[in-house]
Amino acid sequence: MKKQNTTLNLALAAMFLALAFVLPFLTGQIPQIGSMLCPMHIPVILCGYICGAPYGLVVGIVAPLLRSLTLGMPPLFPTAFAMAFELATYGFMSGVLYRVLPKKKINICVSLVLSMIAGRLVWGVVQFFCMGLDSTKFNLSAFWTGAVVNALPGIAIQLIFIPIIIASFEKIKAVKSLS
């Protein structure tokens, strides 16, 4: 049974990685808000929830770097580099918090919000280091704009759809365990 779960998790993680690679093509068709939709975030967060923290962490690291190295988008440094830390945090935290918090529907949202906050804070720290610890290049205003204001559409989409997807997944899992 353990080997079957590992194989399933690897297959699902590969699917989430592929989604993180492809979704930006869809949102890129809307240049004004394409990157604001945070298309790579959703598959990484879902990977953490469904496959577990280690898988979410790896998919989070690999997705922006692989996309940058193969397609040139996002630019490798500092964007993809900082995103790798941010997405790794999302994938890891969503997996950990989902496993440790009591199994109540509200905790899907709690784990999501905490994961999003942690990921954005990590992104800010990495960006600050990438800018040479220079607060004239990356300050609190730049952090707020990059982490929150520019990401509001993506944050809204994540807050709406991820809890619905995970609640649906839990129902399917519960029905399957009864069979």
The number of domains in the chain is 1
| Sign of the CA dihedral running 153, 133, 66, 167 | negative
- pLDDT tens over the chain, length 179 residues: 567 789 999 999 999 999 999 999 998 778 678 889 999 999 999 999 999 999 999 999 999 999 999 999 999 999 999 999 999 999 999 999 999 999 899 999 999 999 999 999 999 999 999 998 888 889 999 999 999 999 999 999 999 999 999 999 999 888 777 76
Q: What is the CATH number of the domain that holds 157?
A: 1.10.1760.20
**Distance, CA of 63 to CA of 59 (rounded, Å):** 6
Range of the domain at 78: 2-30+37-178
